[in-house]
Amino acid sequence: MGKKVILSGIQATGDLTLGNYVGALKNFVKMQEEFDCYYMIANLHALTVRRDPKELKNNTLKILASYIAAGIDPDKSTVFLQSQVHEHAELGWVLDCYTYMGELSRMTQFKDKSAKHADNINAGLFTYPSLMAGDILLYQANLVPTGEDQKQHVELTRDIAERFNKLYGDTFKIPEPYIPKVGARIMGLQDPTSKMSKSSTIPNDTILLVDTPEDIMKKVKKAVTDSEGIVKYDEKNKPGISNLMEIYGIITNKKMDEIEKEFQGSGYGTFKTAVAEAIINELEPFHKKYNELMDNPKYLEEIYDEGAKKASQVASKTLKDVYEKIGIIR
């Protein structure tokens, strides 16, 4: 029996947040020891929102450098750019033809992004999940590690794959979402009722992996809390404190009741300093490695070129099978 296959990706839409790190990236690193992992930078998906071309290129390299700085080893995992493996765009189109408008219009991400970018509700934003289904199915992935917000897309991928397999016989492995039990949905520091997101425009709402220790301390100190002054986990009534507790818990490996005990009787100021220090310590090795990598674009180029070669070998086999089954001459 070979190893199980993992595929995941992050959109090239900006500097990664602490949410991306604990919800996705940390798991990517853990999983590479046990599984055959494919980690992609979703630069084609990033086009669904208008972008400056130079910035998109630079963001693509930033995500790649973040993958490696966080601990993904390009000798163990296949790290590649979605745009360099043309099978993604091809299978994405095919799967568009096996995905229903009704299914796509139920996607929360589509609804959120349409509301945020009301002047550019393009067809790509709508069909985004079929391209993502193609990403996953090309590699016959068993598991897809992501944060909570992507679960719906992985479930749709399963439906599309089952539909296709029913029509043409076994073609795609049916993937499972792999969502961490804690940290799957880190909330904004200023608006703890919505997800921390790299494209947030609210000042001090997100912690970026590239933030300096001073920035991190300042942002955590400014995080919205409540007037009760008690460090207690209560997502509904104390969303700000609960979010900070979750962040602290993931980094220090402590459970919520342990954290409550640790900060019993101390005010929010002491607790916030401890949270900020934990984040700063966790990100220190990342920072150093990230800066070195961003100063070495040749090395990054070698990684993605090599990754694309390895990924293409697998992706081309799946696409060939799909084209043969549906009657497309190559």
151 is catalytic: no
Question: What minimum distance in Å lies between the beta carbon of 298 and ligand ATP?
Answer: 26
Instruction: Say whether 165 sits in a helix, a strand or coil.
Output: helix
Question: What minimum distance in Å lies between the beta carbon of 229 and ligand ATP?
Answer: 26
Q: Where are the alpha helices (DSSP H) in the chain?
A: 18-20, 26-31, 53-70, 87-96, 101-105, 108-116, 123-138, 151-168, 213-222, 239-252, 256-262, 268-294, 297-326
Question: What minimum distance in Å lies between the beta carbon of 115 and ligand ATP?
Answer: 13
Indicate the residue among 41 and 275 with the shorter CB distance to ligand LTN: 41
Establish if 99 lies at the interface with ligand LTN (CB under 6 A): no
**216 closest CA partner among 242, 181, 251, 185:** 251
# of chain residues touching ligand ATP (CB under 6 A): 20
Query: Which DSSP state fits 301?
Result: H
Establish if 20 lies at the interface with ligand ATP (CB under 6 A): yes
Indicate the residue among 82 and 190 with the shorter CB distance to ligand LTN: 82
Task: Find which of ligand LTN, ligand ATP, none residue 48 binds, CB within 5 to 8 Å per kind.
Answer: none
The only residue of 5, 7, 137, 276 in contact with ligand LTN, by rule CB under 6 A: 7
> 96: number of CA atoms within 13 Å, CB side?
14
Question: What minimum distance in Å lies between the beta carbon of 139 and ligand ATP?
Answer: 16
CA distance 141 to 148: 18
Check if the beta carbon of residue 171 is closer than 8 Å to that of residue 232: no
222 is catalytic: no
CA distance 281 to 275: 10
Residues that bind ligand LTN (CB under 6 A): 7-11, 42, 45, 132, 135-136, 144, 146, 150, 153
Q: Which residues are catalytic?
A: 113, 195, 198
